[in-house]
Amino acid sequence: MPTFTIKDEPIENLRPLKVRVIGAGFSEEIGGTWYENRYPGCACDIPSHSYQYSFDPNPDWSSLYAPAAEICAYLQRISKKYGVTRYIKLTHNVKSCKWDEVLKKWKLQIENSSTGETFEEDADVLISARGSLNEISWPNIPGLNDFQGEVMHSANWNQNYDFKNKRVGVVGGGSSSIQIVPILQKLEGIQAMLSMGFDPNEPKFSLEQRKAFANNPEALHSFRKCIEVASNTIHGASLRGSELQKRAVLALYDRMKDRFSTESGDLGITCSIIRGWLSSSNTWTWLS
């Protein structure tokens, strides 16, 4: 008697779905924030080997925190390798999206930014993946518009401006600032605000190391997993009262105490910053 098997297929025929994704086509090229941001020092602020597709890892990152140009090139290479580019309309802008209740479809008005041509497309499923990092946000500073010098935003950097022998003020101390300022400080005659930057001992990967990763996928996978485990387990420090948080707080106290104890003796600001510490005659006292 022949073996009976159940066919694995739906009761009804699956209808084709047209899916439109808003996000990758507004710029002239693929890459998103890594294509648009051109400021000096622009780089990934998490380890490069975690900031990639697990199905196609890159063995050739030049440093632990890869520069923007490398990440952009990686994304463009992946999109071409897997044929994504044939589905993407670059330099196109979605002007409106309306749901047609009768046809049960989305109606999209799309503009070709290069030609000004407007046309209509439809979709069964509409996904917004446009992100927000390309929306420039200027601080509300009185007199900013009256400033007669050069004003630029990290998301719209003037690559032709000569910063040599200039006084530069950087507003903000976030991830963009800690990459921009250390690069500007290296230029001749420049005066720039001090800011935290990447660790000068940031590991660089030699050509031999990169070749070893390329020739040994298991070693590359193990290295990536090691980084991801270290990164993911740190989140326990955000849980109030956890052992990891207690150790993190004590480590921070020790570091700040060491740094401020070398100052001139005025530790009033330290008492405000670090809860639980008081100083008297440059002597540290812990209040339990």
Q: Are residues 284 and 154 in the same domain?
A: no
The answer to whether the predicted template modeling score (pTM) of the entire model surpasses 0.85 is no
Q: Are residues 72 and 165 in the same domain?
A: yes
On whether residue 139 sits in a domain, the answer given is no
* Beta-carbon-side half-sphere exposure of residue 52 (alpha carbons within 13 Å): 29
Return the pLDDT at 70.
Answer: 96
Structural domain containing residue 196: 31-87+150-238
Given 196, 221, 238, the domain boundary residue is 238
Q: Are residues 163 and 197 in the same domain?
A: yes
Query: In terms of Cα–Cα distance, which of 123, 128, 125, 87 is closest to 107?
Result: 123
Q: Are residues 222 and 287 in the same domain?
A: no
Q: Are residues 193 and 154 in the same domain?
A: yes
Range among 16-25, 92-101, 227-236, 254-263 with highest mean pLDDT value: 92-101
Condensed to tens digits (0 to 9), the pLDDT of residues 173-227 reads: 788 888 888 888 888 887 766 545 555 567 889 999 999 999 999 999 999 999 8
On whether residue 12 sits in a domain, the answer given is no
On whether residue 112 sits in a domain, the answer given is no
On whether residue 103 sits in a domain, the answer given is no
**19-33, 39-53, 96-110: least confident range:** 19-33
Q: How far is it, in rounded angstroms, from Cα 71 to Cα 54?
A: 14
Q: Are residues 271 and 164 in the same domain?
A: no
* Band of pLDDT at residue 273, cut at 50, 70 and 90: low
On whether residue 166 sits in a domain, the answer given is yes
Q: Are residues 71 and 197 in the same domain?
A: yes
Range among 6-10, 82-86, 185-189, 193-197 with highest mean pLDDT value: 82-86
On whether residue 23 sits in a domain, the answer given is no
261 vs 203, residue with greater confidence: 203
Q: How far is it, in rounded angstroms, from Cα 69 to Cα 65?
A: 12
Q: How far is it, in rounded angstroms, from Cα 44 to Cα 58?
A: 14
Return the pLDDT at 261.
Answer: 64
Q: Are residues 177 and 264 in the same domain?
A: no
Estimate the crossing angle of helix 207-215 against helix 217-233, to 10 degrees: 100
Q: Are residues 234 and 187 in the same domain?
A: yes
Domain count for the chain, please give it.
2
Given 200, 219, 238, the domain boundary residue is 238
On whether residue 121 sits in a domain, the answer given is no
